[in-house]
Amino acid sequence: MSNLSRLVLAYIVAIPLALVLGYLVATPDTASVAALGFVLICLALPLFIQWNHALLIISWNSAFVVGFAPGQPQLWLVLAASSFGIALLNYVLGFKSFIRVPELLKPLVFLLVIILVTAWVRGGIGLKILGGSGYGGKKYIYLLGAFMGYFALTAQRISIGKSQRTVKWFFLSALSFAMGNLIYALGPAFYVLYYFISPDSVGSQVAADWGQNVIERFGGLGPAASGLLAFILTRWGIRRMFEWNKPWRWLLLIAVMVAGLFSGYRSLVGFLFALFFIQFLIEGLWKTHLLPAMILLAMLVLAPALFFANKMPRAVQRSLAFLPLDINADVRADTDASSEWRFQIWRLVWPEVPKYLLLGKGYALDPVELDMTTLAARTGAISNYEEALYAGDYHNGLLSVLVPFGLLGLVAFFWLLGAGIKVLYCNHRFGDARLKQVNGVLLSYFLTQCVFFFFVFGALNVQLVAFLGILGISVSLNNGVCRKEAPKAVPTTAVSGLVMATTG
The reply to whether 78 falls in a domain is no
| Mean pLDDT across the chain | 84
Query: Do 427 and 477 sit in the same domain of this protein?
Result: yes
Query: Do 152 and 170 sit in the same domain of this protein?
Result: no
100-156 pLDDT tens trace: 999 999 999 999 999 999 998 887 776 554 444 456 688 899 999 999 999 999 999
The reply to whether 177 falls in a domain is yes
481 vs 101: CA distance, rounded Å: 7
Query: Do 229 and 303 sit in the same domain of this protein?
Result: yes
Where among 272, 306, 327 does a domain terminate?
Answer: 327
* Residue 232 binned pLDDT confidence (cut-offs 50, 70, 90): very high
Phi–psi pair at 458, nearest 5 degrees: -155, 145
Residue 68 scores a pLDDT above 70: yes
Cα 302 from chain centroid? 29
Query: Do 177 and 311 sit in the same domain of this protein?
Result: yes
Where among 41, 56, 71 does a domain terminate?
Answer: 56
Residue 17 scores a pLDDT above 80: no
278 vs 292, higher pLDDT: 278
* Residue 352 binned pLDDT confidence (cut-offs 50, 70, 90): confident
Task: For residue 268, give its domain range.
Answer: 162-327
Residues 6+ apart with CB under 8 A from 270: 322, 452, 456
Question: In this structure, which amino acid lies at residue 112?
Answer: L
Query: Do 248 and 115 sit in the same domain of this protein?
Result: no
Distances, alpha carbon 363 to alpha carbons 3, 141, 403, 463, in Å? 60, 11, 10, 16
The reply to whether 92 falls in a domain is no
pLDDT of residue 492: 57
216 vs 207: CA distance, rounded Å: 8
The reply to whether 94 falls in a domain is no
Query: Do 294 and 419 sit in the same domain of this protein?
Result: no
Instruction: Pick the range with the lowest mean pLDDT from 84-93, 211-220, 362-371, 486-495.
Output: 486-495
b/e code 62-93 from CB counts within 10 Å (16+ = b): bbbbbbeeeeebbbbbbbbbbbbebbeebeee
Mean pLDDT of 75-101: 91
Cα 436 from chain centroid? 22
Among 411, 390, 389, smallest CA distance to 402 is for 411
The reply to whether 73 falls in a domain is no
The reply to whether 126 falls in a domain is yes
Query: Do 174 and 202 sit in the same domain of this protein?
Result: yes
47 vs 44: CA distance, rounded Å: 5
Query: Do 372 and 472 sit in the same domain of this protein?
Result: yes
Mean pLDDT of 358-363: 88
Distances, alpha carbon 155 to alpha carbons 378, 442, 464, in Å? 48, 19, 19
Query: Do 270 and 387 sit in the same domain of this protein?
Result: no
* Residue 453 binned pLDDT confidence (cut-offs 50, 70, 90): very high
What pTM does this model have? 0.87
Looking at the structure of the chain, the number of domains it has is 3
Residue 494 scores a pLDDT above 60: no
The reply to whether 27 falls in a domain is yes
pLDDT of residue 384: 60
pLDDT of residue 71: 78
Query: Do 246 and 323 sit in the same domain of this protein?
Result: yes
* Residue 499 binned pLDDT confidence (cut-offs 50, 70, 90): very low
Specify whether the CB–CB gap between 205 and 217 falls below 8 A.
yes
Query: Do 116 and 149 sit in the same domain of this protein?
Result: yes
